[in-house]
Amino acid sequence: MTAPPTDSVMGTRERALAVALDLFSREGYDAVSMREVAEELGVSKAALYHHFTSKEEIARELIGGYLTAVEELVAWAVETSPELPALLARWSDLARTQGLAIGRFIHANQRLVRHLGLHGNEGKRSIDQVADAVVGIDAPAELRLQVRIALICLHTAAISAEGLGMPEDDVFRIAQQVAESVVRNAGG
C-alpha cells in the first residue's frame, strides 16, 4: 500500500485536531474516546492512531500549537516593536482564530491541563512581554497597564459576548475598538 501524499496526511491530521477540539470542548476530554473522534472525522480508529498515539497527544498538540502561535507573536513584537494598532490587530486575529476554541477547551478541561503540566501563567507572561515590547519597560506604569488591559480585552472578547447572539467578527471588531480606545485615552 502506498503512503498518502503529505498534503492529505497534513489535512487529515489538522482535521482530526479540529474535530477533537470541538468534541473535547463540548463533551469534555474524559467523555470522548478516540473511537468517537475517528467516527466524527469519518475515518477508522486505526487511521486516527496512525496520526496520534493517544488523546493526550492530541491535547498536547492542540494546546502546544496555540502556545507556539503566542510565542511567535511575542517574538514578532519584541523584534519589530510594532505600532499599537498593528499589535492589537494581530493579537485580535490570534484570539479569534485560535484562542477562543483553545480557551474553551482549557476552561472545560482544567484537570487535564494540570496533568499535562501546562499552566495559566503562559498567557499572562505573553501579555506582559507583548505590552512591554510595544511601549517599552521604561514607559509609565499606567500606560503599560492600559496596554495589558487592552490585550486582555481582546483575549476575553468571546467569553464576554457569550449569550448575546452576536457574530464573532462583530465581537472582535468591537473588542478591538474598545482596546484601541483604552490605550488612546491613556495618551498612548
CB 116 within 8 A of CB 56: yes
- Structural domain count of the chain: 2
Q: Are residues 88 and 37 part of one domain? A: no
From the CB of residue 73, how many other CB atoms can be counted at a distance below 10 Å?
19
Q: Are residues 160 and 110 part of one domain? A: yes
Q: Are residues 104 and 152 part of one domain? A: yes
pLDDT tens by residue, 145-181: 888 888 888 878 877 877 888 888 888 889 888 888 8
Q: Are residues 172 and 93 part of one domain? A: yes
Q: What percent of the chain has pLDDT over 90?
A: 19
Q: What angle do CA 176, 160, 15 make, to 5 degrees?
A: 80
Q: Are residues 158 and 109 part of one domain? A: yes
Q: Are residues 106 and 80 part of one domain? A: yes
Which pLDDT belongs to residue 6? 43
Q: Are residues 103 and 132 part of one domain? A: yes
Per-residue confidence at 186, pLDDT binned at 50, 70, 90?
low
Which pLDDT belongs to residue 17? 92
End-to-end Cα distance, the chain: 61
Q: Are residues 89 and 167 part of one domain? A: yes
DSSP 10: H
Taking the C-alpha atoms of residue 96 and residue 102, their distance in angstroms, rounded to an integer, is 10
Q: Are residues 87 and 33 part of one domain? A: no
pLDDT top residue among 114 and 6: 114
DSSP assignment of 127-153: HHHHHHHHH-TTS-HHHHHHHHHHHHH
Which pLDDT belongs to residue 31? 92
In this model, does residue 137 exceed pLDDT 80? Answer: yes
Q: Are residues 182 and 125 part of one domain? A: yes
Domain that holds residue 170: 62-186
CA Rg value for the chain: 19
Q: Are residues 66 and 43 part of one domain? A: no
Taking the C-alpha atoms of residue 95 and residue 151, their distance in angstroms, rounded to an integer, is 10
Strand blocks (E) in the chain? none
Cell numbers standing for residue 167: 457574530
Cβ-Cβ contacts under 8 Å for 167 (sequence gap 6 or more): none
Range of weakest confidence among 51-60, 62-71, 117-126:
117-126
Q: What percent of the chain has pLDDT over 70?
A: 89
- Say which residue the cell 457574530 belongs to: 167
CATH number at residue 33: 1.10.10.60
Q: Are residues 103 and 29 part of one domain? A: no
